[in-house]
Chains A and B, each alone.
Chain A
Amino acid sequence: MSAASVTPNTPAISGRSLWDDALRRLLANRAAVVSAALLTGLVVLALIGPMLTPFAYDQINKNDVWAPPLTAGHLLGADSLGRDVLARLLVGLRVSLAIGVVATAVSLVIGVIWGATAGYLGGRVDEIMMRLVDVLYSLPFIFFVILLMVTFGRNVILIFLAIGAVEWLTMSRIVRGQTLSLKSREFVEAARTIGLSDAAIITRHIIPNLLGPVVVYVTLTIPAVILAESFLSFLGMGVQEPLTSLGTLISQGAQDMEAAPWLLIFPSVTMVATLMAFNFIGDGLRDAIDPKDR
């Protein structure tokens, strides 16, 4: 970013920046483009869908218990309490996506600051900071997340924080590696020569230039977080009724799958489609930003 502002803006010859190139390569990747469209659709559905369904997600309809899809006004059927599966699915999707985004944001903030600081300062500080990451890496984290849930009760905010706090480790490793190679570059030398403080160099020069790999990793972390939340929900430690998430819906659907397979199928398909979309976009971004890994 700082490097880009140095080049003079001449409208006659429009140069192609690295990002233009990356965008072009991304748009040529069919799987990534289709996934992006699919994901946009899912996000829109999750945002406005719950307002449009004829039933509320927690509305119990005694007459519609186990209603199969397309009966009694339930497009995707109803569950054991006669609640509309479509309404619950949309709310579940909303909750899962929200957890994915917020927890990833938490891991992004911690991971980037931690990794950039360790990589930039180097030496003993780096040694200690990354050794701590190594130690945390070898902890059985799912156990601690479960203990957190047991200790502080099942609480959506806590799920955000707990999962985010687990996922930052890989982020900090990636960021540190990139920082190590960035810090010997000329523009960082230049910033140091004019007397910028370390903090200013990290925030204004190192972090903006880390964007590429970080964006890629973010798109791969969101599905990992969604998956982690559904594991918790499956074990009965995630989002609490009547609120729901894709994992909770699948877990309930699995219990009744022989009597009412639609309870398992629709949430599972939604979940798999969401995760696949994120993964294909992430892979596409990686190929686009760093084509040598293809």
Chain B
Amino acid sequence: MGLLMIRFLFRRLWVAVPTLFLVITAAFFMMRAAPGNPFDTDRKLPAQVERNIMAKYGMDRPLGEQYLTYLGNVLQGDLGPSLKYQDKSVLDLIKEGLPTSAVIGLSALTLACLIGVLLGVMAALRQNKLIDNLTMTVAVLGVCIPTFVTAPLLVLVFAAKLGWLPTAGLNGVRSLILPVTVLALPQIAIISRLTRAGMIEVLRSNYVRTARARGLPEHRIVFGHALRAAVLPLVSYLGPACAGLLTGSLVIEKIFSLPGLGKSFIIGALQRDYTVVMGVVIVYAGLILLLNLLADIIYALLDPRVKLS
């Protein structure tokens, strides 16, 4: 297993490196093709001043040379200075924003998995009964109501009217409840559907019938035998789920004015802060690759038929 695992990791790394390279290249040239530059202000800078600033950041060099320089710096772990925040490097900004985004994203993912699996199992055990139909209708609703509708509505009810939770900002655990809930809702919907479908299929399988014939109690059949196989489709959904959480977090951070990475990205893109945009894209792409890899490993651990290859 150990050797196999190492070989598997190397193979995946072999795909991850070109992917990251592609991400960096595409983001670099798209950002540079955007009209304007980070030093545009309402007042036109004197030509000499602008030239000096450009020279300071190496932006007077040919684009290809800048690209190669940037690649070299990234390889050494240097993401450069922010072009808008005078005294901050991109790494500083990422260190400030990443914890917030990560806490919200991971809490939402955990919450979604727990509730989603529970709902899915319940629905599967009562297939086509009231609770199943109810859960699945709510699940469709969950997919169809966008986060930017649920977020203002929940804020209106729980923050503005009832005053139980803060409306926005980052101030203790209570301020995270609404953002995490909003982010988790659509994922709960998808996960419960996946679990239901997986569970229904597994409950029909021969080994579950054997377990029943041996007279095992229902809860041991469901949680001891069936669940492990039933959550397999869920594990392969984890990769896309993370992408969904990222998309959602852009909106969530905006609505709840949270100082996360998504916010830095949007502001950076609008203000042409090239290095910040690149840095955030690299971090996010790296995270997605890492989580996909993790999902594959979990899949192989859960399903002994799958060899890591």
Contact = CB atoms under 8 A, between A and B. Distances in A.
B285 A147 contact: no
The majority secondary structure among interface residues of chain A is: helix
Interface stretch (A87-95, A190-198, A206-214, A270-278): A270-278
Interface in A272-289: 272, 275-276, 279-280, 283
Given A138-B19, A235-B251, A272-B149, A143 B284 contact: yes
A52 interface: no
Interface string A250-294: 110110011001001000100110011001100100000000010
Contact of B156 (A131, A258, A279): A258
B208 interface: no
A11 interface: no
A283 B137 CA distance: 12
Given A138-B289, A139-B19, A139-B285, A250 B146 contact: yes
B31 A147 contact: yes
Interface in A46-99: none
Nearest to B282: A140
B266 A146 contact: yes
Q: Which 3 A-B pairs have the closest CB atoms?
A: A275-B144, A254-B152, A151-B34
Interface residues of B, number: 46
Nearest to A280: B140
A139 B30 CA distance: 15
Given A139-B22, A140-B246, A143-B281, A235 B266 contact: yes
B265 A143 contact: yes
A251 B149 contact: no
Contact of B148 (A139, A153, A230): A230
B15 A134 contact: yes
B148 A147 contact: no
A139 B23 contact: yes
A130 to B, nearest CB: 12
A234 interface: yes
Given A230-B146, A283-B140, 7 more contacts: A140-B23, A146-B265, A151-B30, A258-B160, A271-B149, A276-B140, A276-B141
A138 B292 contact: yes
Interface in B190-242: 197, 239
Interface string A211-241: 0000000000001000100110011000000
B191 to A, nearest CB: 16
Nearest to A269: B149
A139 B281 CA distance: 9
A272 B189 CA distance: 15
